Amino acid sequence: MAASHSFTLVLPKTEEARLRRFFVDKGFEQREAAHAFWQVRGPGCVATFYQSGKLLIQGPEADLWRGLLGDETPDARPFHAALALHPKPLPAVWLGTDETGKGDYFGPLVVAGVAVRREDLEVLAELGVADSKTLSDDRIGELVTGLRALLRHEELVIMPAKYNALYAKFGNLNRLLAWAHGKVIENLLERGPADWVLVDKFMEPEPFRRGLGERGRAAALTLRTKAEADPAVAAASILARAAFVRSLGGLSKRFGVRLHPGAGAPTLAAGRAFIEAHGAQALGEVAKLHFATTQQLGGGA
């Protein structure tokens, strides 16, 4: 049985008639309720508009119906705070990109991007899309299939050997990241248009834009800190994290050593076990060699 949800919205009492019509037009059955203008019951949801001005929405589908209430009740819409930061006119389709793995000694650097249409928002809210850092890896694994089926997406997985070669070429992590985000953005735009591009900020916009391809340079672009609040960047962060976990697991299986994420004590222990099994010269196959962890392991730069 689906989990039940409950939401309370404080609205002007003048909204009573409009919202009643909204639910009745959707096939809800109207009833009387104590201290309320009305109560309506429909598929997976009961809504009660109290005379105090509070609208109570309850039931397994309450979050969906909350999101369908319309522009006159913006606080009821999913991702309303993030959507309020969108440029005007509002983009019908926008891209979001995010990366993971840049702080992990073992495993790849992954950059992912998605294209979100405004009609996708209700489904993303129903799925529970949020910044991947707030979700367990198991939950992320559950979301990936749905996101890939719903959204135009792109994932760039840079395995350690390739990462080390690129880092030597660029000489700077931010320049490498800009190149990777740029490839994801360009590939997404090649497959379809978008009105706007939002990137979780890691450098200033102008040098980032200069590294983009022709399509990317022509697009409206914003780099913003904490951009994972936006559903597009949040979905991209989920795809990136899932690809990182999958790739790190593959490396662990291939080399017979459990390679830990992060860069702390478990990582050092895994590094020592890896060197004992395969030698320090093989670290570049599984690790980002410019990390200080390499020196701590005695593996050289």
Helices (H) and strands (E) in the chain, counts: 12, 10
On whether both 182 and 122 belong to a single domain, the answer is: yes
On whether both 90 and 66 belong to a single domain, the answer is: no
For residue 226, what are the domain limits? Answer: 78-301
| pLDDT value of position 113 | 98
Q: What is d(CA 289, CA 148) in angstroms, rounded to the nearest whole number?
A: 32
On whether both 206 and 279 belong to a single domain, the answer is: yes
pLDDT in tens, the chain (301 residues): 456 677 888 788 888 898 999 899 889 999 999 999 999 999 889 999 999 888 999 988 887 787 777 544 555 556 877 888 899 888 999 999 999 999 999 999 999 999 999 888 878 888 888 888 888 999 999 999 999 999 999 999 999 999 999 999 999 999 999 999 999 999 999 999 999 999 999 999 999 998 898 999 999 999 999 999 999 999 999 999 999 999 999 999 999 999 999 988 999 999 999 999 999 999 999 999 999 999 999 865 4
Instruction: Please say whether the beta carbons of 189 and 60 come within 8 A.
Output: no
Strands 45-50 and 36-42: antiparallel
| pLDDT value of position 189 | 97
On whether both 22 and 142 belong to a single domain, the answer is: no
On whether both 83 and 231 belong to a single domain, the answer is: yes
Instruction: Please say whether the beta carbons of 12 and 51 come within 8 A.
Output: no
Quote the number of domains for the chain: 2
On whether both 103 and 119 belong to a single domain, the answer is: yes
On whether both 273 and 300 belong to a single domain, the answer is: yes
Q: List the CATH number of the domain containing 64.
A: 3.30.310.10
Amino acid at 123: V
On whether both 98 and 33 belong to a single domain, the answer is: no
Instruction: Please say whether the beta carbons of 214 and 243 come within 8 A.
Output: no
Q: What is d(CA 87, CA 76) in angstroms, rounded to the nearest whole number?
A: 20
Which of the listed residues 77, 97, 128 is the one where a domain comes to its end?
77
On whether both 216 and 143 belong to a single domain, the answer is: yes
Which of the listed residues 55, 77, 99 is the one where a domain comes to its end?
77
pTM: 0.75
Which of the listed residues 48, 77, 106 is the one where a domain comes to its end?
77
On whether both 288 and 170 belong to a single domain, the answer is: yes
Q: In the numeric block, which tokens belong to residue 72?
A: 């006159």
User: Residue 29's beta-bridge partner residues?
Assistant: 41
| pLDDT value of position 5 | 74
Q: In the numeric block, which tokens belong to residue 189?
A: 């735009």
Cβ-in-10-Å burial (0-12, 13-18, 19+) of 217 comes to: middle
| pLDDT value of position 71 | 45
On whether both 156 and 62 belong to a single domain, the answer is: no
